[in-house]
């Protein structure tokens, strides 16, 4: 097992103080009569394991900086950001690798320096250092695929389902689950982000004839008071 980063063991900082960032995709969306590509930009808090997902319209440097600006506007400015070099992407991520290799690292570094952020690119052949956020990428993909069920989305629907994917990811337990009813409830990233214990509402199931197939049918009903 690879050694943990020091930031993964720092407990006295707010969420998203230390962040790992990675891309996934492409995600096909319908735009009029065309099909265009979008990309998920996933930010992982290295201490709480919370995630934040932004949608990038391209893989160029400016698009990444825009996604990063949206992230910091909602989650605050981190102290340190880790990301993989393009050379650490493998297999089906060849498109991502080629484009990230072409990022203007000087532009990104100047942007981060202006905000007093330490930016660290993992060196080639050290992809194990990005394991924390790479596992989040796999989980995010699996949840997103289960939600959309191979449907072709619009941009608005993509944003909606990515927000739902983010919620599900942040509602996962990060402490041991006990079968003793006297124990405290499990801790989730959303509890740390929202500062309340009940962060979920009944989600229901999708009716294939509605919403993306048009309507979400709630399987749980709230009793009247």
Q: What counts of helices (H) and strands (E) characterise the chain?
A: 6, 7
pLDDT the model gives residue 167:
93
Give me the phi and psi of 34, to 5 degrees please: -100, 165
Query: Which residues does the chain have with pLDDT short of 50?
Result: 1, 88-92, 124-128, 213-225
Tell me if 1 is assigned to some domain: no
Q: Compute how many other C-beta atoms are within 10 angstroms of the C-beta atom of residue 70.
A: 15
Q: List the end-to-end C-alpha distance of the chain, in Å, as a whole number.
A: 53
Decide if 46 is inside a domain. Answer: yes
Does residue 161 fall inside a structural domain? yes
H or E element that contains 20: strand 18-31
Which residue is listed with tokens 């201490």?
A: 47
DSSP per-residue letters across 39-74: EEEEEEETTT--EEEEEESSSSHHHHHHHHHHHHHH
Read off the tokens for 166. 């983010």
Residues 92-138: tens digit of each pLDDT: 455 666 777 777 777 888 888 888 888 887 654 444 455 666 788 88
Q: What is the pLDDT of residue 215?
A: 40
- Please report, for the domain that includes residue 87, its CATH number: 3.30.420.10
In the prediction, which pLDDT does 22 show?
A: 87
Question: Is 33 a member of any domain?
Answer: yes
pLDDT, residue 80, reads 92
* Spatial distance between the Cα atoms of 168 and 175, rounded to a whole number of angstroms: 16
Residue 8 lies in a domain: no
- Asked whether residue 92 is assigned to any structural domain, the reply reads yes
Residues whose CB falls within 8 Å of the CB of residue 224, separated by 6 or more in sequence, listed in order? none
- Determine the structural domain holding residue 153 and report its residue range: 13-217
Distance of CA 88 to the CA centre of its chain: 19
Residue 140 located in a structural domain? yes
Residue 213 pLDDT: 45
CA distance 215 to 205: 9
* Cα separation, 97 vs 77, whole angstroms: 26
How many folded domains does the chain comprise?
A: 1
CB 133 within 8 A of CB 94: no
What's 176's DSSP letter? P
**Structural domain includes residue 52:** yes
Q: What is the value of pTM for the model shown?
A: 0.77
């Amino acid at each position: 097992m690879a050694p943990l980063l020091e930031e993964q063991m720092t407990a006295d900082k707010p969420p998203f103080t230390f962040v790992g960032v990675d891309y996934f995709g492409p995600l096909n969306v319908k735009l009029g009569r065309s099909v265009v590509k979008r990309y998920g930009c996933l930010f992982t808090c290295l201490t709480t394991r919370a995630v934040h997902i932004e949608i990038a319209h391209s893989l160029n440097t400016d698009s990444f900086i825009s996604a990063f600006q949206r992230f910091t506007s909602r989650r605050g400015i981190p102290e340190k950001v880790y990301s993989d070099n393009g050379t650490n992407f493998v297999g089906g991520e060849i498109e991502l690798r080629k484009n990230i290799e072409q990022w203007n690292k000087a532009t990104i570094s100047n942007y981060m320096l202006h905000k007093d952020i330490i930016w660290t690119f993992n060196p080639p052949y050290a992809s194990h250092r990005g394991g924390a956020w790479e596992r989040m990428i796999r989980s995010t993909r699996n949840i997103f695929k289960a939600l959309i069920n191979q449907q072709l989305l619009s941009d608005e629907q993509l944003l909606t389902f990515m927000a739902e994917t983010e919620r599900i990811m942040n509602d996962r337990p990060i402490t041991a689950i006990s079968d003793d009813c006297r124990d405290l409830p499990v801790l989730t990233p959303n509890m740390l982000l929202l500062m309340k214990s009940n962060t979920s509402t009944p989600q229901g199931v999708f009716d294939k004839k509605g919403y993306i197939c048009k309507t979400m049918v709630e399987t749980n009903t709230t009793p009247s008071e």
